[in-house]
């Protein structure tokens, strides 16, 4: 009896310690993300001091509040004075370019990391990543087609988003008619459909105008947030929020999916429904991310493993840690992309340069991470 009670007390102490470490880690990561956002807003071709940033935000807030009061009560707040510190050009750059780009970097990193962690849990495969089902390949076809047709940037996003979702629908349809293990069928169908999408993208590049259209397609495929604007942010934030919310709510069930289906059913979990919901939500956030950033690899593969180093493999802790770590990671990479050289370096190049060696370091450590 004493040994059993001591074992239970030891387990509770370990759980309490893990919970404290998780809380401390999440608080630190959240603080780093906020600091990273503030620092990123000061960097660029037109540097701004923290005071100027706060002043710009204050002016925008007062203008918005004044407009609301005018519509409701017919009164206005006094105009915020800039004291000559901020020009109209600086304000336009800050609100139309820099702020949307910084926020999109955080959102894209957060979504890709959450999708990667979700796929790794659902498929019980440490090498699973957000493009495992062909979402990225489908988005590439859609974006390349829109660029070939010389459509505007918003239509490029819509084509990429729609083609990504259509690709996943085809993958699920094909996997549903095949025989064998369900998870293996889905992965194999994703590989085959991705190959077809890559062939379609290659054909579009073949027939594109090599002087104007082909460079734009190639640049989009390398990933970039250079064209981030408020409309991009408003377009992506809704599907991102719709996809991330269930992943957060279902994160504890991902722990159960690591068990066998029979064991999970005995615990009262509808395995098929949970697995389908996680796949759909992870695919939705992947499609939304790729549609506004292009193809950005390695984030969804490497960051969840880094988060496991920090908080362990419990998805209650892993999902929030992966999201915050992914946001911080891509924010740092984007800062390097736009500030290291006179011309921007595509995000896909930098994430590969950073991600591949880091992943090699992770898998060669003595501790069993993968």
CA dihedral sign, ordered 45, 46, 52, 56: negative
CA end-to-end span of the chain, whole Å? 38
3-class SS of residue 125? coil
Q: What are phi and psi of 297, to 5 degrees?
A: -90, 170
Distance CA 185, CA 290 (A): 24
Distance CA 121, CA 224 (A): 28
Alpha helices in 123-181 (DSSP H): 135-148, 153-177
**Residues composing the chain:** 370
In a domain, 310, yes or no: yes
Residue 130: per-residue pLDDT: 86
Residue 83: per-residue pLDDT: 42
In a domain, 62, yes or no: no
In a domain, 76, yes or no: no
In a domain, 194, yes or no: yes
In a domain, 57, yes or no: no
Radius of gyration of the chain (CA): 23
Residue 117: which domain range?
14-47+87-364
Quickly list DSSP for 53-68: HHHHHHHHHHHHHHHH
Residue 164: per-residue pLDDT: 92
Q: Which two tokens stand for residue 150?
A: 């010389």
Answering whether pTM is above 0.85, one says: yes
Total domains in the chain come to 1
Residue 71: per-residue pLDDT: 61
HSE-CB of 117 using CA atoms within 13 angstroms? 35
Residue 84: per-residue pLDDT: 45
Question: Could you list the mean pLDDT of each consecutive 10-residue stretch along the chain, which spans 370 residues?
Answer: 57 72 92 95 85 82 59 54 63 90 96 94 84 90 95 92 93 83 85 94 95 92 91 93 93 80 75 88 94 92 92 91 96 93 89 86 64
What CATH number does the domain containing 340 carry? 1.10.3470.10
CA dihedral sign, ordered 218, 222, 227, 229: positive
In a domain, 290, yes or no: yes
How far from 159 is each of 44, 166, 282, 336, CA to CA, in Å? Answer: 30, 10, 19, 29
In a domain, 65, yes or no: no
The torsion angle over the Cα atoms of residues 172, 175, 181 and 187, rounded to 10 degrees, is -70
Tell me which residue of 161, 41, 22, 50 sits closest to 106, measured CA to CA: 41
In a domain, 295, yes or no: yes
């Amino acid at each position: 009896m004493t040994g059993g009670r001591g074992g239970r007390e030891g387990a509770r102490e370990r759980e309490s310690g893990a919970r404290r470490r998780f809380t401390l880690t999440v608080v630190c990561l959240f603080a780093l993300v906020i600091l990273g956002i503030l620092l990123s807003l000061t960097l660029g071709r037109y540097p701004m001091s923290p005071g100027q940033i706060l002043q710009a935000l204050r002016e925008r807030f007062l203008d918005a509040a004044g407009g609301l009061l005018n519509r409701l009560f017919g009164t206005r707040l006094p105009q915020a004075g800039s004291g000559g510190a901020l020009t109209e050009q600086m304000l336009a750059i800050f609100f139309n370019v820099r702020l949307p780009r910084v926020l999109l970097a955080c959102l894209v990193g957060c979504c890709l990391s959450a999708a990667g962690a979700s796929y790794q849990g659902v498929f019980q495969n440490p090498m699973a990543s957000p493009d495992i089902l062909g979402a990225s390949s489908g988005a590439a076809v859609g974006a390349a087609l829109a660029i070939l047709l010389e459509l505007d940037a918003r239509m490029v996003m819509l084509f990429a988003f729609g083609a990504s979702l259509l690709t996943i629908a085809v993958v699920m349809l094909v996997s549903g008619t095949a025989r064998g293990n369900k998870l293996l069928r889905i992965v194999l169908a994703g590989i085959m459909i991705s190959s077809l999408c890559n062939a379609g993208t290659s054909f579009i590049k073949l027939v594109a105008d090599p002087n104007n259209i082909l460079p734009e397609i190639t640049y989009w495929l390398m990933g970039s947030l250079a064209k981030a604007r408020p409309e991009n942010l408003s377009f992506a934030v809704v599907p991102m929020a719709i996809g991330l919310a269930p992943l957060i709510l279902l994160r504890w069930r991902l722990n159960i999916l690591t068990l066998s289906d029979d064991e999970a059913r005995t615990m009262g979990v509808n395995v098929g429904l949970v697995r389908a919901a996680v796949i759909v939500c992870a695919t939705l956030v992947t499609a939304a991310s790729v549609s506004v950033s292009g193809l950005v690899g390695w984030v969804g593969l490497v960051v969840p493993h880094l988060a496991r180093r920090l908080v362990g493999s419990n998805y209650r802790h892993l999902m929030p840690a992966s999201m915050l770590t992914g946001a911080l990671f891509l924010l740092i990479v984007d800062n390097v992309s736009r500030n290291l050289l006179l011309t921007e370096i595509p995000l896909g190049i930098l994430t590969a340069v950073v991600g591949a060696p880091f992943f090699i370091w992770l898998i060669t450590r003595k501790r069993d991470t993968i």
